[in-house]
Structure 1
């Protein structure tokens, strides 16, 4: 085996790798690692910016408080979401992501390792660690796997886009920002006042 092939064994190739959840479980990286269609995506090794963590914690808390006592449950990263296609076997699953926040309303999808199947709602909070390629692939993955609602938050700009699944395709909201009241089609009755939400985030 030549050096190039040895390197590919040690470090899965982002462009050509066809890796599974079974492979994923053997890796020991400092970075967050996700699989999309068998390709490995590594985020920056450094911790997310403080503003990212503020938004994540505050929104997770709002979801948690609203959903307490209800069937739906909220989880934040690190939390593996696996998307099986034909089989639930580890070596047959090629899509594994760690959304910043997800809401799962079907308890049958939860196990000791996270979620297997599409969450009802996923939130991704943009940071320098997100690549355009990663976001493009995640959009396609979430849409094709039936994630009913997908939120993309830009903390620095204090704005939000919501993609709602209709007839298998995502329909984007207008750009939501300070002064808007955000309502979820998935979590009935939940509302988020963006002016209040971002008021103490900086």
Structure 2
């Protein structure tokens, strides 16, 4: 998440773009200062609908992150939670040629050559997004498309108010949806061998 800082007069920082209808790259993104989360999907700016995620969103995110973090401790994969920039280049990895930069709620990267000081460049193995009021279309349509095209092996979508989890698994370049999981189910991952997630524990103590 990019946060606003007073910009010294001699610092070459851009003002917030006047329009959200241009085509922007990661090079543009690096010059901006926003007071809310900003992502670029295929060159288009997407802002967070709220200043901060709601409490239930954060509680679920923490539950899932902790399970992944504990399981992956000592293993070759790394797990990160937002704010964490994931750049998804279509062709060139030059900043000027990258038109999708997202901040997934949680992501797992097993190929550490994709990690640098700025985050991840290339598709994570697993991405978890937790829906919030106002961002459903972004996660269910726009991000679905770029994650599929970029080769994210698994895309997990959690609906916090319905207490459900849907897993999209990449198969021959196309996502195949799972059944809709809910409290009482234990889910597994095809790309993180041996990992199990008990949804009873994910959706506990949300009130």
User: What's the TM-score once normalised by structure 1's chain length?
Assistant: 0.91
- Structure 1 position 194, deviation (Å): 1.0
Whether the aligned pair in 2 keeps the contact of 1:12 and 1:40 (CA below 8 Å) is no
TM-aligned CA deviation for residue 179 of structure 1: 1.1
1:11 counterpart residue number: 17
Is 1:156 the counterpart of 2:161? The answer is yes
Which residue matches 1:90?
95
Shift of 1:94: 0.4
Given that 1:30 and 1:45 are in contact with CA atoms closer than 8 Å, whether structure 2 keeps it comes out as no
Determine if contact 1:13/1:39 at 8 Å carries over to the other structure: no
Q: How does 1:38-77 map to 2 (within 5 A)?
A: 38-77=43-82
**Considering only aligned residues, what root-mean-square deviation do their CA atoms show, in Å?**
1.4
Long gaps (5+) in structure 1: 1-8
* Structure 1: 4+ residue segments shifted above 3 A: none
**Is the aligned partner of 1:34 residue 2:59?**
no
Kept after mapping to 2: 8 A contact 1:41/1:134:
no
The one-character-per-residue Cα deviations of 1:70-125 (angstroms, maximum 9, x if unpaired) are: 11000000000001122111111100000000000000000000000000000000
Q: 1 or 2, which has the higher helix percentage?
A: 1
Give the aligned partner of residue 126 of structure 1.
131
Maintained 8 Å contact 2:107/2:127: yes
Partner residue in 2 for 1:105: 110
User: What TM-score, normalized by structure 2, do the two folds share?
Assistant: 0.89
Mapped to 1, the partners of 2:196 and 2:150 lie a distance apart of 25
Question: What residue number does 1:175 align with?
Answer: 180
Say which SS state the counterpart of residue 168 (structure 2) adopts: strand
Give the total of aligned pairs.
193
